[in-house]
Amino acid sequence: MRDARLAVGLRVGLRLGLCLCLGLWAAVAGALEVEDRRVYPGTTDRTLSIVSTADLEVFEPYILRFQQSRPELTVDYTVASSVELYRGIRDGAGFDLAISSAMDLQLKLANDGLAQSHRSDRTDALPDWARWRDLIFAFTAEPAVVVMSSRALDGAPPPATRQELITLLRDNPERFRNAIGTYDVRDSGLGFLFATQEARSTDAYWRLSEIMGRLSPELYCCSGQMVDDVISGRLSLAYNVLGSYAAERMAQEGRRDIEIVQMQDFANLMLRTAIIPATATETGAAGAMIDMLLELGLREAPGDWPLPPLSQGTSDFGPIRLGPALMVYLDPFNRRAFLAEWENALVQDIVIEP
Amino acid sequence: MIARLSIGHRLTVLLAGVAALLSLLSWWMVSELARQAAARSQDNVLAASATTIAETIRSEQGEVRLELPYSALSMLGAISEDRVFYKVVAGERVLTGYDDLPVPTDAATGARVAFETGQYSGEAIRMASVRRTVLAGAGPVPVVVTVAQTLSGVDAVSGQLSRLAAALSLAFFLVAVGLSVFAARASLRPLNAFAQAVSRRGPSDLRPLRRDAPPELAPLRGALNRLMDRLGQSIRRSEDFIAEAAHRVRTPLATVRAQAEIALRSAESEDSRQRLRRIIRAVDESSRSAGQLLDHATVAYRAEDLARDRIDLGELVAQAAAALEPTATMKDIEFRIATSQARVVGDAVLLESALGNVLDNAVKYSPDETTVHIAVSAEEGVARITVTDEGPGLGEGPIESLTERFRRGGNTEGVVGSGLGLTIAADVLAAHGGRLDLRNAAEGGGACVTLVLPSA
């Protein structure tokens, strides 16, 4: 934890140093809201620029491994939210590789002709559900989970289904009031994907949202912050958190009083995907990076990589299907209607007193 | 070029060409059908998708509202990995979807579902439009829902089926070529059999062909038979003519000879006697030639329909030797005959003529006061009459050619002859299934002529 903080501090300094060139770059790339950025210099000026939703500390091992085989390449890694990433690629930002957890936005980019095709032995080895049209490739399968502090359970076994969770929340509102965290689907692409897929798959979603809305939930942009707040005790329950982040943080902290629960009635399985944007210039290097990611994605054992392989965590419900159907909820009419319903359920001004 | 190609090859090439054409045609038809089937199933799904979206269109407080059903796009994703575009237009306003997506030209006027193929985002697309009118605000608003999909799925399916069809057509073609070869051979078999039947015949066999032939070959058989008939007739006519001519020449020659002999006896001067002897010799020679021409014609005539007498070769030799005895005595030539039992079946007249010619030759080419050996033998089904003289032999030239008509050996100076003798003998023996062997005797250098016949 302290190391991580230190690293963040160092990075802030680095970022200040990069300020000038970042400003210039931002002008070129359009107004992309950058959360984090680091350049890993190679032996030449040839640069593979990656935009990704994965945090730096999560993705760094992959970059370092890539540079072992391709030391001549400088890797420019930019972290942005999935919505920003989507907007940036749409506007023609000059990235060679875009990695995102928002499958629907990635698929829309590919569908709308903003991705280049890539084909290799590695992509051929992928199962059908993990790629679409040689344009979009999945290299991790990450389940959505519920993270709870054992304190909030008060000795009871963790809920296995949404119905049990609803009962738990309804029976013990005092434990969870102002202590529930979930995605703000209006801002988070992944949150929106999870919510729409869940609403499509189980009717318990709306009932659960209704209950959570009454308990004044906190809304987050990212899984990492939710997990952090559960660890710090600010939250009793974080709903729809990326299991990979939660597991990694738990391992770092060594905390035993926090439960990671996968719902048994339905669980989303997100595929983290990569595309080569149409505007990419270093397509060869981007292809090589994708091949490396797929090689790791197809590994059998999880190993000590931060992101799980495709075979890991395959739930009974299968991964979210890569296909044009993902674009349905991105349609303005549907999105507006869904957000209206979601706001009705979760952003309630009336707070019911116990 | 084509004319020189064998009929079998032509048939095979033609049949294979037809098979190739049919294979190509069937490949093209299957490919086209597969493409159409794939295109139609895509059209159906596109229409279903557009209809599903159109079903959700409703009017809400004077505004046209709709909801894109999950199934509308998921059904398109289920059939292929094609890119999907959609657009909903109410009146003039694009409600949602891809603003610049083209719309089928007859979407607003034509059938309820309109299809068209077009171009969008750098790829060929197939569009389907569904029209629906909604009452919103002031009046009815026509709403057109267009759903489009790229064609790579259709292309992949039809390409796959086309490749399968190509493989099947190729297999079909190969089988057809094999069958063409077989068919060509089978249909040419009667022709080959016919040709073999004709070529198996002997050189002078001019009997009409009687074998069964397919109707296509009947004209050929008829023409061939007529040709052989005419040929036979013309040969017979010329033989008759020769026989007649020889006969007519011989009779006056005999008269001339008799008169010359009378004149010789009464001649006074040695000079005129000498001249008369020359005349007699010339007449003799002419008479012999005429006789041989007659013999030759007889051989040609009788060989067609050979008599089958049982003949004792010993007797035959004795008769022939006796016939030539006067001539031989004039030159002091002695016949020494060694006979053993030998019988053949054949035409006595012809065999006598053959042996007579051989003996005549032997006498003619033998010097005075020599011996002509005649031996008759029979062994292993073969009867032989060997005539050996002590003359100059058969010369240096090719021995086989001596049996050709009017061909005389290389060392016949001073001896008169027509060159028909050995031809007659060879023809007779050939007609009896035998042959005439000619060689020079081992010692003494004389000719050794053997008449070889199958013994009875």
> Which of the four pLDDT bands, split at 50, 70 and 90, describes residue B268?
confident
pLDDT at A27: 43
**How do residues B372-384 score in pLDDT, each as one tens digit?**
889 998 888 888 8
**How do residues B169-213 score in pLDDT, each as one tens digit?**
999 999 999 998 898 888 888 888 888 888 887 666 777 877 777
Are the Cβ atoms of A327 and B67 closer than 8 angstroms? no
CATH topology of domain B201-305: Helix Hairpins (1.10.287)
- Percent of chain B at pLDDT above 90? 23
Q: Retrieve residue B267's tokens.
A: 């001649």
Average pLDDT, stretch B249-272?
87
**How do residues A107-138 score in pLDDT, each as one tens digit?**
999 999 999 999 999 999 999 889 998 999 99
Using the predicted structure, report yes or no on whether residue A265 has a pLDDT greater than 90. Answer: no
Phi first, then psi, for residue A278 (nearest 5°) are -60, -25
Closest CA to B43 of B143, B132, B151, B144: B151
> Which of the four pLDDT bands, split at 50, 70 and 90, describes residue A22?
very low
For residue A322, what is the nearest residue in chain B, using CA coordinates?
B77
**How do residues B320-368 score in pLDDT, each as one tens digit?**
888 888 888 888 888 888 888 888 888 888 888 888 888 888 888 888 8
> To the nearest whole number, what is the mean pLDDT of chain A?
85
Smallest Cβ–Cβ distance between B68 and the set A110, A321, A334 belongs to A334
Are the Cβ atoms of A324 and B76 closer than 8 angstroms? yes
Please report which helix (H) or strand (E) contains residue B141, including its range. Answer: strand B139-150
Phi first, then psi, for residue B65 (nearest 5°) are -125, 150
Using the predicted structure, report yes or no on whether residue B1 has a pLDDT greater than 60. Answer: no
Domains of chain A: 2-141+271-320 (3.40.190.10), 143-269+331-346 (3.40.190.10)
d(CA A111, CA A99): 16
> Which of the four pLDDT bands, split at 50, 70 and 90, describes residue A326?
very high
Lowest mean pLDDT among A80-89, B101-110, B425-434: B101-110
Q: Is the ipTM value over 0.90, yes or no?
A: no
**From-to residues of CATH 3.30.450 in chain B:** 7-159
d(CA B219, CA A212): 105
Lowest mean pLDDT among A49-53, A328-332, B184-188: B184-188
User: Counting beta carbons within 10 angstroms of the beta carbon of residue A317, is it exposed (0 to 12), middle (13 to 18) or buried (19 or more)?
Assistant: middle
Between the CA atoms of B156, B158, B161 and B165, what dihedral angle is there, to the nearest 10 degrees?
-130
Q: Which residues of B touch A321 (CB under 8 A)?
A: 74, 77
Are the Cβ atoms of B121 and A325 closer than 8 angstroms? no
pLDDT at A14: 43
pLDDT at B83: 93
Specify the CATH architecture of the domain B7-159. 2-Layer Sandwich (3.30)
d(CA A237, CA A217): 10
**From-to residues of CATH 3.30.565.10 in chain B:** 306-456
How many Å from the N-terminal Cα to the C-terminal Cα in chain A? 38
Are the Cβ atoms of B77 and A111 closer than 8 angstroms? no
CB pairs under 8 A between A and B: 57
Residues 6+ apart with CB under 8 A from A279: A89, A92, A93, A94, A95
**How do residues A189-219 score in pLDDT, each as one tens digit?**
999 999 999 999 889 999 999 999 999 999 9
Phi first, then psi, for residue B27 (nearest 5°) are -60, -45
Average pLDDT, stretch B232-260?
84
d(CA B301, CA B288): 19
d(CA B391, CA B368): 9
Using the predicted structure, report yes or no on whether residue B434 has a pLDDT greater than 90. Answer: no
pLDDT at B343: 87
**From-to residues of CATH 1.10.287 in chain B:** 201-305
Mutate to test the interface with A, among B59, B83, B99 (most CBs of A within 10 A): B83
Q: What angle do CA B135, B139, B145 make, to 5 degrees?
A: 50
From A101's Cα to the closest Cα of chain B, the distance in A is 20
Are the Cβ atoms of A323 and B97 closer than 8 angstroms? no
For residue B64, what is the nearest residue in chain A, using CA coordinates?
A333
How many Å from the N-terminal Cα to the C-terminal Cα in chain B? 54
- The pTM (predicted TM-score) of the whole model is 0.68
The CATH number given to B306-456 is 3.30.565.10
Please enumerate residues of A whose Cβ is less than 8 A from a Cβ of B.
110-113, 132-133, 200, 321, 323-325, 327-328, 331-334, 337
For residue B82, what is the nearest residue in chain A, using CA coordinates?
A133
Q: Which residues of B touch A133 (CB under 8 A)?
A: 81-83, 152
